[in-house]
């Protein structure tokens, strides 16, 4: 039996959760405006008017031995990516405080490489401990394929959220990376969840995958119980194998965001790279499925300013005040002390 977008919206509001095996083709066939309207209804119901803003700092850049085809930081590619070791503690903390004072909800250190280990990992732990004791911004970490022991040590420092994308569908993953597997990523996610960390996991669209791959990614994230889902639109970077991929149409990004809301109704669907492809720098998306965004600067592609995003929130009648949070609440636990 085929359902309309309006009928699916009502089913989700009533407690039904879309699952693998359901007919999801309606999300690809429905008029975009109709799909966005339904996503907006679900967003309002599950998330209210709250938008979660996170910021990131590139704590260690380049020289990565993995061969992810989209990434400027892979040593397998020839890009103009800046290379440097783990940043000084003072620089990271100053950046976190500035983001906190500007109004961001959380702050993440992201490092290049398969996994952060050794002396650099110890440096990261020291930075997180200091931030936890001196700041009130929520702390997130993104350090690759960590062990259960490493994730536990991170958690002990005050980190409450771990970022680790699945990137795409299981089917398409081998087309974008061969130095580690989709299951390696799933294993890390489950270890982080077992540790009690909120997991932020999403992926990149526009890498040559099909619409069915995008739907599959949305379902896989729902099966994992992910509460924060960043959706990146590929920004082709010269020197990477995907440098000649055509840039996505903003309408395709909006459609993806909308059906991710249907499939993951209680999660924070987060705008990430590629916001400039969207109408009004994402304002339309924040009313039709997206309840969160990365703000400030991306890793290697220019992002947006926190001040500009705060102005946009007020104009849209939205807020990032933690007291208004109803979406992705598992990720909010313990963010502030």
- pLDDT, tens only, 92-101: 999 999 999 9
Over range 319-336, report the average pLDDT.
64
Q: What is the pLDDT of residue 334?
A: 42
Q: Where are the alpha helices (DSSP H) in the chain?
A: 5-13, 26-29, 32-47, 89-102, 118-134, 148-157, 173-176, 182-195, 211-224, 250-263, 306-316, 329-332
Average predicted confidence (pLDDT) for the chain: 88
The tally of CA atoms less than 13 A away on the side-chain side of residue 217 is: 28
Q: What is the pLDDT of residue 2?
A: 79
More confident residue, 67 or 210: 210
Per-residue confidence band for 335, with pLDDT thresholds at 50, 70 and 90: very low
Q: What is the pLDDT of residue 301?
A: 46
Q: What share of the chain has pLDDT > 70, as a percent?
A: 87
More confident residue, 62 or 112: 112
Q: Coil, helix or strand for 74?
A: strand
Give the residue carrying structure tokens 């933690």: 322
Over range 231-250, report the average pLDDT.
86
Is-above-0.85 flag for pTM? yes
Over range 260-271, report the average pLDDT.
97
Give the residue carrying structure tokens 């992201």: 110
With 90 as the cut, is the pLDDT of residue 300 above it?
Answer: no
**Tell me: the pLDDT tens digits for 117-134?**
899 999 999 999 999 999
**Tell me: the pLDDT tens digits for 156-173?**
999 999 999 999 999 999
CB 31 within 8 A of CB 83: no
Q: What is the pLDDT of residue 299?
A: 42
Contacts of residue 314, defined as CB under 8 A and 6 or more positions apart, other chains included, come to none
């Amino acid at each position: 039996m085929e359902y309309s977008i309006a009928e699916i919206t009502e089913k989700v509001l009533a407690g039904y959760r879309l699952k693998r095996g359901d007919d999801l083709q309606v999300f690809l066939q429905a008029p975009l405006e109709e799909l966005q309207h339904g996503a907006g209804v679900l967003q309002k119901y599950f998330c209210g008017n709250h938008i979660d803003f996170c910021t990131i700092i590139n704590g260690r850049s380049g020289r990565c031995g993995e061969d992810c085809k989209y990434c400027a930081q892979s040593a397998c590619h020839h890009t103009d990516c800046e290379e440097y070791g783990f940043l000084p503690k003072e620089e990271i903390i100053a950046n976190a405080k500035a983001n906190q004072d500007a109004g961001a909800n959380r702050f993440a250190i992201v490092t290049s490489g398969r996994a952060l280990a050794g002396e650099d990992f110890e440096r990261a732990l020291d930075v997180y401990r200091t931030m936890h004791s001196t700041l009130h911004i929520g702390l997130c970490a993104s350090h690759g394929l960590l062990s259960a022991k490493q994730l536990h040590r991170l958690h002990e420092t005050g980190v409450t959220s771990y970022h680790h994308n699945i990137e795409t569908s299981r089917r398409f993953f081998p087309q974008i990376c061969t130095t580690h597997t989709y299951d390696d990523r799933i294993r890390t996610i489950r270890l982080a969840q077992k540790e009690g960390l909120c997991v932020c996991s999403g992926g990149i669209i526009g890498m040559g995958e099909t619409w069915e791959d995008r739907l599959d990614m949305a379902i896989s994230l729902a099966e994992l119980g992910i509460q924060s889902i960043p959706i990146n639109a590929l920004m082709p970077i010269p020197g990477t194998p995907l440098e000649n991929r055509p840039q996505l149409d903003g309408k395709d990004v909006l459609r993806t965001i909308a059906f991710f809301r249907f499939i993951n109704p209680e999660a924070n669907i987060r705008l990430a790279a590629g916001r400039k492809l969207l109408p009004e720098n994402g304002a339309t998306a924040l009313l039709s499925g997206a309840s969160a965004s990365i703000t400030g600067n991306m890793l290697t592609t220019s992002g947006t300013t926190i001040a500009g995003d705060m102005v946009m929130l007020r104009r849209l009648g939205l807020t990032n005040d933690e007291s208004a949070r109803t979406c992705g609440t598992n990720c909010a636990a313990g963010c502030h002390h």
